[in-house]
Amino acid sequence: MKRNMSSIKELISQMTLEEKAGLCSGLDFWHTKPVERLGIPSVMVSDGPHGLRKQDDKVDHLGINDSIKAVCMPAGCATAASFDRELIGRMGASLGASCQHEKVSVILGPAVNIKRSPLCGRNFEYLSEDPYLAGEMAAAHINGVQSQNVGTSIKHFAANNQEHRRMSSSSNADERTLREIYFPAFETAVKKAQPWTVMCSYNRINGTYASENHWLLTEVLRDEWGFKGYVMSDWGAVSGRVEGIEAGLDLEMPSSGGVNDKKIVEAVRAGKLDEALVDQAVERILTINERYLKNAKPETEWDKEADHLLSAKIAEECMVLLKNDGVLPLAKEDAVAFIGEFAEKPRFQGGGSSHINCFKTTSALEAAQGLKVTYAQGYSVEQDDATDAMIAEAVAAAKAAKVAVVFAGLPDSYESEGYDRTHMALPASQNKLIEAVAAANPNTVVVLHNGSPVEMPWIDKVSAVLEAYLGGQAVGLATVHVLFGDANPCGHLAETFPLKLEDNPSYLFYGGEGDTADYREGVFVGYRYYDKKKMDVLFPFGHGLSYTTFAYSNLCLSKSEITDQDTLTVTVTATNTGSRAGKTVVQLYVGDKESTVLRPVRELKGFEKIELQPGESKDVTFTLDKRAFAYWNTELKDWHVESGEFTIEVGQSSRAIDVCGTVTVQSTVKLKKHYTKDSIFMDIMADPDAQKVIQPILDGFRQVFGGGGGDSEAASEAVSDEMGMAMMQYMPLRGVMSFAGQEADAEMLENMLKGLNSL
């Protein structure tokens, strides 16, 4: 089947309404429907996101039944920490090639929902608490996969930030919060990478299911962002199918068994649904399918061994060295004890629809063969326990070694698709083990396998912590490379590690009441909150150590003043000040120094990962445009920059800023004025045009209340000029006028307001 757009339209014109309605839902769990009489084949889609989970037609979709043998790459929690667009692009390309080999048209992912709380069961699949980082990494992933002429399905659109009641809960957030925090990962991906498909989420948004949300699926996604592909539902996310067609949901997955197809037909026949909308959905689906079919290359080789090594390489670049007092890297001639069952059986992926049937795995213990490494189990994952005998064996191993490495983390049951965590702790057995080992050997290192932050009550007692996340099937290889210095750690946290769960900004509201999940913390998610509150955290957003050290200097801004139509070029010099080659993630944060709306102290607006030899320096350049300075203005329904000074901070984490500068940005947009008699004096005085009009009244007020030269002595004794102004600032215009001795007659007020509002 090789057709162009006009022939797809032509084809649609030959279809019966039943055939068209049929195309708007799956054939089964994984295929679109064929229309044999017109030569339209069925195509397959598969999970995603970090490996190919191709299943048989008749099986479940949650990974309970086996899928084909494949390669499990590091999960989103890890890959985001690489801060490396090119690397993730390479991972995407390898996923795309495996899809070509397996005749899969679309791989379901990336999953980009914002990590609102560390508790979300699916955080291991998601990328970040930061929308800029999530968007950049998502776009790189999509571009990589689609370079192989295989589609992606960025998911889950939108505001799907909890698993608890995920199919019925309503994520209630104001528009600014959605636009600034929960949408940009999707927006950036659409604008920079044009995913072939978008998967809408299960949840409702402000009361309306994502699958029926016209604003979301049509106005924002297509009309504003320019999305061109088709929208599919998450598996079982459809409530009202006819409403879905109207909203812009093209493909329902999986099959509805014909029930919803019938509803579409009936609605058209009853004149309740415009047939043109059905045609449009069919056209979008067929256009994407056609794109795949035209470029299908089942002869593409899938070299799983090569992908296994790629997976190890990616994992190396993702691991975050959280703490190191100098014990790492380990020397290959030293006696080292690997302690903890995860050293032998690593946890490297999460549960649910992303679960890969790996063709092989490499544990740290296997990868350490030939080195002086001993092993003690330490705890039992299955029993969720560490017996006295296990602890004693671990302590003995630790004592006999120069360095003890405890492999800890979350067992499968602790975090998974389908439900949320209830706490942020490691299993008690593992905490107990770490304490015992740390007491036995001062050189204790902890390697963590988890998809989301954990509390570390033992942090001050251990020498080093390596966050390996869920690092894919070759994680053991990567871990050994990093521990022994064959690879220099260069991952940085894509999320804050709070000291305790209760510190998280969504703590009071997360999960919601019944089906109502109110996003009351607004835009203050992750470091946007911790920084505003000046709170101590365990490890800040962007943090990551290396076996070398870096310093940034020579911050240079192309201009000291720009308008919101200009771009600003920021250059900084990064230097490797240590004695090993390494990679640093240069992070650029922007902050509005003064604003009339509530804004975070700093927000990530640029990052570059660069490699530097010892002593080497490189210049890194960032280009900032309007969006880097803007907030979402609900009245304008657009991004808006408030004139004033902005900080430009460049550092190695959100809390390790090396260099800082300032730029003044002038807005070119005049906001409409809405002064009324109830507008307060302070707001009017903050507006330079309005200030001129109001100045005579101010002078009148001074006359009456004295202070700065008024003629009422009694008044000036009682109220200084400063006090008078401080009191007056909150006074509404109507009050100020009468205080100032002016007859606030209605007509005069009216005229003044007209004048003020037309400025």
Q: Which residues bind ligand BGC (CB under 6 A)?
A: 47-48, 61, 108, 155, 234-235, 353
What CA–CA distance (Å, rounded) separates 560 from 719? 41
Residue 364 has which token pair? Answer: 């740290």
Half-sphere exposure (Cβ direction) of 657: Cα atoms closer than 13 Å: 19
Quick one: 350 or 378, whose CB is closer to ligand BGC? 350
The size of the chain, in residues, is 759
Distance in Å, CB of 595 to ligand BGC, minimum: 37
Distance in Å, CB of 108 to ligand BGC, minimum: 4
Quick one: 234 or 316, whose CB is closer to ligand BGC? 234
Task: Report the DSSP beta bridge partners of residue 390.
Answer: none
User: CA 718 from chain center: how many Å?
Assistant: 56
Which residue, 114, 125, 126, is CA-closest to 72?
125
Distance in Å, CB of 107 to ligand BGC, minimum: 10
User: CA 723 from chain center: how many Å?
Assistant: 47
Distance in Å, CB of 46 to ligand BGC, minimum: 8
Quick one: 353 or 653, whose CB is closer to ligand BGC? 353
For residues 139 and 189, the answer to whether their CB atoms sit within 8 Å is yes
Task: Write the secondary structure of 358-413 as one string of H (helix), E (strand) and C (coil).
Answer: ECCCCCHHHHCCCCCEEEECCCECCCCECCHHHHHHHHHHHHHCCEEEEEEECCHH
Quick one: 163 or 649, whose CB is closer to ligand BGC? 163
Quick one: 238 or 719, whose CB is closer to ligand BGC? 238
Quick one: 103 or 345, whose CB is closer to ligand BGC? 103
Distance in Å, CB of 438 to ligand BGC, minimum: 39
Quick one: 155 or 609, whose CB is closer to ligand BGC? 155
What CA–CA distance (Å, rounded) separates 449 from 472? 10
For residues 599 and 588, the answer to whether their CB atoms sit within 8 Å is no
For residues 419 and 163, the answer to whether their CB atoms sit within 8 Å is yes
Quick one: 48 or 706, whose CB is closer to ligand BGC? 48
Return the SS3 of 754: helix
What CA–CA distance (Å, rounded) separates 360 from 481? 18
Distance in Å, CB of 234 to ligand BGC, minimum: 5
For residues 54 and 68, the answer to whether their CB atoms sit within 8 Å is yes
Phi, psi of 136 (to 5 degrees): -65, -45
Quick one: 167 or 731, whose CB is closer to ligand BGC? 167
- 67-102 burial: b if 16+ Cβ within 10 Å, else e: beebbbbbbbbbbbbbbbbebbbbbbbbbbbbbbbb
Write the DSSP symbol of residue 250: -
Half-sphere exposure (Cβ direction) of 640: Cα atoms closer than 13 Å: 18
Distance in Å, CB of 353 to ligand BGC, minimum: 3
Angle, CA 271 vertex, CA 269 and CA 272 arms, to 5°: 110
User: Which of these is catalytic: 47, 84, 234, 261?
Assistant: 234
Crossing angle for the helix pair 304-318 and 475-483, to the nearest 10 degrees? 40
Phi, psi of 606 (to 5 degrees): -170, 145
Q: What is the DSSP string of 32-72?
A: BPPBGGGTB---BEEE-SSS-B---TTS-SSSSS---EE--
For residues 418 and 164, the answer to whether their CB atoms sit within 8 Å is no
Distance in Å, CB of 202 to ligand BGC, minimum: 7
What CA–CA distance (Å, rounded) separates 120 from 13? 46
Quick one: 126 or 705, whose CB is closer to ligand BGC? 126
Distance in Å, CB of 71 to ligand BGC, minimum: 18
Note the helical H segments in 103-201. Answer: 131-146, 175-177, 184-193
Phi, psi of 302 (to 5 degrees): -120, 100
For residues 115 and 164, the answer to whether their CB atoms sit within 8 Å is no
Please report the sign of the dihedral spanned by the C-alpha atoms of residue 233, residue 186, residue 96, residue 84: negative
Quick one: 110 or 710, whose CB is closer to ligand BGC? 110
Residue nearest to ligand BGC (CB): 353
Give yes or no: 384 in active site: no
* Residues annotated catalytic, as ranges: 234
